[in-house]
Amino acid sequence: MNLPRAGRWLVGTLLLAALAALMAQAAVLGWADFNGREARFRLDQAISAHQAMDGPTWERTRALLEATLAADPGNAMYTEDLANLYFLRAAGTRGDGQRVQADYEHALSEYLRAASLRPTSSYTHANIATVKLRLGQFDQDFTSALTLAAKYGPWEPPVQEQVITAGMLAWGGLPEPVRDIVRDTLRRAYQLDARRTLRVVAGLKSAVPGCEQLRVALAGICPSK
């Protein structure tokens, strides 16, 4: 009689311990998500307003995201938010080349980690291409990012814009197959929203390849034959 009762007590104790561990883990993840949501709100506000964060707000947002990722390191969304935070500061900094370089490199590191966690995110790959463009790193990872962004987000306007912009600015060093990817992206973007696409191309000015290289019909830029 005593042995089965002792066994039931042991099993019950183990189940309670497992349940307590699960509850503790859920509490940690819930706390992390709460912090992450606050950080994301602050970041979205700055991006929507097209304004750089002031120093204290930036530091608060960074601390929230780092605390979130310490508790939930496999969270691709908040990893990319941290990358966006560093990119935002780099893009808004003037006159401090070393900090701009460091912030872009930090952003790239986080984007690459986000891509390893979420390899089919077209936005992540587009962001990698953009930050590598800003760093002047026109390597295999740059062309791979362009290729994967176009592959996974062929009809996503923000992705199309980044692929077109990065592709044209780096056109001279792109292999022909990657140029074809940029051309196809440009055609899809023009089909989806001609006015927006023409504004993007016009904003690139002298970086736009000649029509004989571009081989995409664009009203007022490259007439159809």
Calculate what percentage of the chain has a pLDDT beyond 70: 84
**Two tokens, residue 71:** 């508790």
Token look-up 């966690």 returns 117
Does the 28-118 domain belong in CATH 3.30.1490?
no
Which residues, 6 or more positions from 32, have their beta carbon under 8 angstroms from its beta carbon? 67, 68, 69, 70, 71, 72, 75
pLDDT band at 12 (very low <50, low <70, confident <90, very high): low
Task: Identify the band that residue 29 occupies on the pLDDT scale cut at 50, 70 and 90.
Answer: very low
Q: Which of 109, 179, 96 is nearest to 137 (CA)?
A: 109
Residue 36 C-beta-side C-alpha neighbours within 13 Å: 21
Tens digit of pLDDT for each residue in 130-184? 999 999 999 999 999 999 999 999 999 999 999 999 999 999 999 999 999 999 9
Locate tokens 């023409």: which residue? 198
**Count of other CB atoms within 10 angstroms of residue 209:** 19
**How far apart, in whole angstroms, are the C-alpha atoms of residue 166 and residue 62?**
27
pLDDT given for residue 114 in this prediction: 97
Beta carbons of 80 and 110 less than 8 angstroms apart: yes
What residue ranges do the domains of the chain occupy?
A: 28-118
Phi-psi label, residue 220: left if phi above 0, alpha if psi -120 to 50, beta otherwise: left
Tokens found for residue 92: 């808004």
What SS3 state is found at 169?
A: helix
Instruction: At 138, list the tokens.
Output: 């026109």
- In tens, the pLDDT along 86-140 reads 999 999 888 888 999 999 999 999 999 999 999 999 999 999 999 999 999 999 9
| Interatomic CA distance for residues 158 and 167, integer angstroms | 14
Mean pLDDT of 78-82: 94
Element (H, E) at 186: helix 176-192
Amino acid identity, position 117? L
State the pLDDT confidence band at 223, using cuts at 50, 70 and 90: confident
Identify the residue whose tokens are 């995409």. Answer: 216
- Nearest C-alpha neighbor of 213 from the set 176, 164, 163: 176
First vs last C-alpha separation in the chain: 94
